[in-house]
Amino acid sequence: MLDPALALTSSAPSPDAATAGLRTAPAGLHGRAHPGTVSEPAVSASEPLTGDVRSVFALAADDLVAAEAQLAGMLDSVVPAVNEIGRHLVDAGGKRLRPLLTALGARAVGVEGDISRLMCVGELLHVGSLLHDDVVDDGHERRGRPAAQRIYGNPAAVLTGDFCLARSVVLAAEEGGARAVTELGHTVTAMSEGELVQLLNAGNLDLDLATYMDVVDKKSAALISWCAAAGAWKVGDDVAAAALQRYGHEVGIAFQITDDVLDYVGEMRLTGKRRGQDLAERKLTLPLVIAFQRVPELRGKLAKGAPSPERIPAIIADVRSSGACDEALAVARRRVTDGIAALDVLPPSPWRDGLVTLAGYLVERVR
């Protein structure tokens, strides 16, 4: 369900709770009624949202609530198991970052009317990719729940992921037009390549930085880039689409780097996974690449095999004390700066400002 706290918790509010804090304000951009402020999230969160990012959710609140209702319907199937497996993951919460980016990008280029179905494209593709990833990675947990294949089995999880992918393609064609669905095809291709490169390099502690960045670009940034630009393709604004693609690409990379850092410093309410989970899988991420350069003996500790749960806290401490997390965050912040600069071609609007604020928050959520 709609998570107005942007992944501050892995729990999700009910449909009624999602709308409980919303009130309408005077008409604003495009003659639409601006949503007002969002009250305290209807989900438990030990860390409140900052005022700035709360205003972003307020700006897109009506669109997000409408998209959440659409998303539930998109999982309907004549095969009941499809609905059950899809809802297992969707109802566990999630950031809903991709629908939010689609809403902000579309409104920033002047798209009017109902965009809730367009907003579901990226989220459906994301859900499908998570179902597939957990099978490929033999995942145990996702968003605080057992991974779907742990309950329903690998074949059912894979086929439900295929269903979500197919639905997203149809939606892209219906709501975004030919250019949008063509670009989505390129996005799915990149995501598949990125997942395969990551799989083939599982446990490879000699993975170079260029390959790591290529995986991040394909697995994470490609879809976020599509979501940001979808509205511009819908109205045929190629200049704005290129700017929003660049913004989404840079912010997507920054978002993934920040998630990698959170594996060492974060909590499950921010990431949806336990601290040290990437490390336990010997997944080479930017903080670990930097730490290897600064503390060469770390590579030897991990070369012996996956660390036991008892060893993980000490290795996390070594990575953090090396300054690798701070350096990785500095890289993420530079990416955000570059992404925000791409938005200069868009006309000033609250929606463009929302894209700027959201980009900063996605990195600064590390505290």
Task: Give residue-wise pLDDT tens across range 198-249.
Answer: 888 888 888 888 999 999 999 999 999 999 999 999 999 999 999 999 999 9
Residue 366 predicted with pLDDT over 60: yes
The pLDDT value recorded for residue 10 is 29
Listed in sequence order, the residues at least 6 apart from 100 whose beta carbon sits closer than 8 Å to its beta carbon are 56, 57, 60, 64, 358
The pLDDT value recorded for residue 135 is 86
Residue 335 predicted with pLDDT over 70: yes
The pLDDT value recorded for residue 209 is 87
- What mean pLDDT do residues 317-337 have? 96
Q: Which residue has the higher pLDDT, 145 or 272?
A: 145
Domains of the chain, start order: 15-364 (1.10.600.10)
Indicate the average pLDDT of the chain: 82
Strands (E), 135-260: 141-142, 145-146
Residue 1 predicted with pLDDT over 90: no
Q: Which residue has the higher pLDDT, 302 or 13?
A: 302
- What mean pLDDT do residues 120-140 have? 88
The pLDDT value recorded for residue 273 is 59
CB-based contact 290:322 (threshold 8 Å)? yes
The pLDDT value recorded for residue 85 is 86
The model scores a pTM over 0.75: yes
The pLDDT value recorded for residue 123 is 94
The pLDDT value recorded for residue 272 is 53
CB-based contact 289:191 (threshold 8 Å)? no
- What mean pLDDT do residues 278-306 have? 88
Residue 29 predicted with pLDDT over 60: no
Write the DSSP assignment of 6-51 as a string of letters. Answer: SSS-S----HHHHHTT--EEEE-GGGPEEE----S-SS--SSPPPH
